[in-house]
A and B are shown apart, each in its own frame.
Chain A
């Protein structure tokens, strides 16, 4: 229970990697508020599951791409629980397509959610963490696809690359106030978001591109997020931690 009595806020928390992060932080004793956009049933089920297990969780509906959302969400968490120790910016979307045919909407949606959503939520907690608490852990979920880019993902790669740079720059500014800012860059994780790619090339990825010979599970990411949120990571800031089973080594195996 290394996060006992801490307050965590996780965006994109109802499904996939976010759900595993919510479960992990709650299991370690944190009170977890998590944001979901559309998956209300899944969100309420997760909230009920954690509560039944003796934890504390609260599902909050919001779209992180909405510039007004973060202030409202963070304001609510502060009103209820008085502080925010951990922020996990996990909400992310893909709108893949070849650039020549990419509509502005596909670009904007991805940037507004993945990058601007991270900006808004960091902005909403920064004063609280840096000045009021002098403590905070910000963890941005990036992607290995920021550096090891894929065809059809100009928008996604740009958004995640920007999140990595933002993570480093923010870490510099908040360091003197005991707020660490790190990113976790997952590789291929078995979630709904990667379903399209996995159904086409899952076998090849697993057998040829991932030295650990398996796809990642949401828990593989949640474990690292929980570590970065915990006392063991006190001296780590401004880092992008790749969690990809060795995919980014770029070796073809077998």
Chain B
């Protein structure tokens, strides 16, 4: 499966899951800020991707959104610490390094959702499928 094949399937999945128009979903779309995804939508997206691609996506593997909960060594003053950033890079080896660097420049926890883009899903699936 080529990267574009994966993208097209991811796009179709998101159009369905988030009830969006086809042209609203681009590679750089952020799921929350641009496509309006809520917390349950992330579960829905994972569920649909599993079905669409015939894979299992362990909880927290694609969207490790709760790895920082309640650990002061990872988050301080609303920002992710150096240790936390290292943890994040470790948890998301499939993420675009440039995107992670951009986030690391101003690592506000509130902005973490910006990492969750269409492109991130495509990269994850590509790694997962060994495509």
| Residues of A that sit less than 8 Å from B by CB | 127, 130-132, 173-174, 176-177
Contact = CB atoms under 8 A, between A and B. Distances in A.
A176 B40 contact: yes
A173 B47 CA distance: 16
List the 9 closest pairs (A to B, CB-CB), nearest first.
Answer: A131-B47, A131-B44, A176-B40, A176-B38, A173-B40, A177-B40, A131-B43, A127-B47, A130-B40
Interface of chain A, main secondary structure: helix
Contacts of A132: 47
Interface of chain B, main secondary structure: helix
Contacts of B40: 130, 173-174, 176-177
B79 to A, nearest CB: 29
A131 B13 CA distance: 13
Contacts of A173: 40
A177 B19 CA distance: 11
Interface residues of B, number: 7
Interface in B37-53: 38, 40-41, 43-44, 47-48
A130 B44 CA distance: 8
Contacts of A174: 40
A177 B42 CA distance: 13
15 contacts: A127-B47, A130-B40, A130-B44, A131-B43, A131-B44, A131-B47, A131-B48, A132-B47, A173-B40, A174-B40, A176-B38, A176-B40, A176-B41, A177-B40, A177-B44
B123 to A, nearest CB: 24
Contacts of A127: 47
A158 to B, nearest CB: 29
A132 B51 CA distance: 10
Contacts of B41: 176
Contacts of B38: 176
A67 B44 CA distance: 25
Contacts of A177: 40, 44
Contacts of A176: 38, 40-41
A172 to B, nearest CB: 10
A132 B50 CA distance: 12
B52 to A, nearest CB: 13
